[in-house]
Amino acid sequence: MKINIYYGGRGMIDDPTLSVLSMITGVLKELNVQVEQFNLYEDRNNITALPGTLKEADGIILASTVEWYGIGGYLMQFLDACWLYGDKEKISELYMAPVVMSTTYGEREGKMTLESAWEILGGLVCGGMCGYIADTSVLESSTEYRKLIEKRTENIYRTISQKFSCLPASNQAVKQKISIPRSADLTPQESEQLAHYVSDDHYVRTQKEDIRELTDLFRGMMDKDQRSDEPDELLSQFKSRFRPVPGVRAKYRIVVTDNPQTSPVLISVEGAKCECTNDADTPCDATLSLTADRLKEIMGGRVTFQRSFMEGSVKMKGDFTLLRNLDQIFTFMEQ
């Protein structure tokens, strides 16, 4: 028979839980039980992979020390890993004995927390032990305390070896009705493999970098498509609203200042001929700079280029006499 011990304390020299575990281990070994202890503070970078160690155990002991409030973070991380990556079929037949000592208030609540968590996971709970130990030396020197711990350990051994039946727990019934665990559709072997990947910091960091690179790549592709679509639509709208005015001959450049994805539009007008292209370098007679929202208002017929210039929402460089002609040759106001 094999029993695994998962210790969630900090490993301090005067930790009373370590003294109790030492006594428990001694009794179990006298009963020819193979005991393996996992100190979670030492395996904190590998906690997500520890549920894989449950498959070879006949029973486990979850041990922690209440130093100020609750059972501590390492043991909660282990229980989280059991919920996410543990083999629920194996857990359903696995006995757990809680061992919680405290140097302050809360050992009973800590013991109840472990029992409830293990039952929600679907496992079986056997009698553990809890107590308030302010001075470890008193625990080690007391014959009565030692006999009590030995007796409780023998009860744990009998429960696990003889597989005593347990009455149904209400929190298991509640879990079946209202709790919805994350469904990953993974086999126990795949969950164990995933747990090893999650515990590998280098692998996780590499995956995050790959995801970031892919995100930037697809964002760039989308931006490229957007940049290629918007100018074409802009050019077509200018061409569709062109109305020739005799004697007008000029080159206009329209620059959208708040959207770098929109390329400058070069409009070449010569009598009845109008050409619209994306060009930022060709010399022109007048350059107009405005925001994308203002350009939409102009092309929607709600305001003119000249009025926008007078209001200060359009800035212009070049021949100012050509500004009025721009409203004449593009009839947006007729929409």
CATH number of 2-181: 3.40.50.360
What span, in angstroms and rounded, lies between the C-alpha atoms of 4 and 24? Answer: 12
* Distance of alpha carbon 187 from alpha carbon 162, whole angstroms: 29
Question: Is the model's pLDDT at 228 over the cut of 50?
Answer: no
Q: Is residue 298's pLDDT more than 60?
A: yes
* Residue matched to tokens 């006949």: 58
Each residue of 107-131: pLDDT tens digit? 999 999 999 999 999 999 998 999 9
Taking the domains of the chain in order of start, what are their residue ranges?
2-181, 231-334
pLDDT at 221: 62
- pLDDT of residue 184 exceeding 60, the answer is no
Mark residue 58 as left, alpha or beta (left: phi above 0; alpha: psi -120 to 50; beta: remaining).
alpha
Q: How many CA atoms, within 13 angstroms, populate the side-chain half-sphere of residue 163?
A: 5
User: The tokens of 304 are what?
Assistant: 């003119």
Main-chain phi, psi angles of 2, to 5 degrees: -130, 135
User: What integer best gives the mean pLDDT of the chain?
Assistant: 85
Which CA distances in Å does 74 have to 21, 104, 205, 261, 333? 17, 19, 22, 49, 70
CA distances from 72 to 64, 113, 163 (A): 7, 11, 30
Statement: residue 71 has pLDDT above 50: yes
CATH for 231-334, among 2.60.120.560, 3.30.1050.10, 3.40.50.300, 3.40.109.10? 3.30.1050.10
pLDDT value, residue 69: 86
Residue 213 is classified by DSSP as H
pLDDT of residue 116: 93
Range with the poorest average pLDDT among 96-100, 160-164, 234-238, 307-311: 234-238
What the block records as the tokens of 121 is 């996971």
Q: Is 78 helix (H, G, I), strand (E, B) or coil?
A: helix
Q: Tell me the per-residue pLDDT of 141-151, one tens digit each, with 9 for 90 and over.
A: 899 999 999 99
Q: How far apart are CA 109 and CA 38, in angstroms?
A: 23
pTM of model > 0.85: no
Residue range 157-173: mean pLDDT, rounded: 82
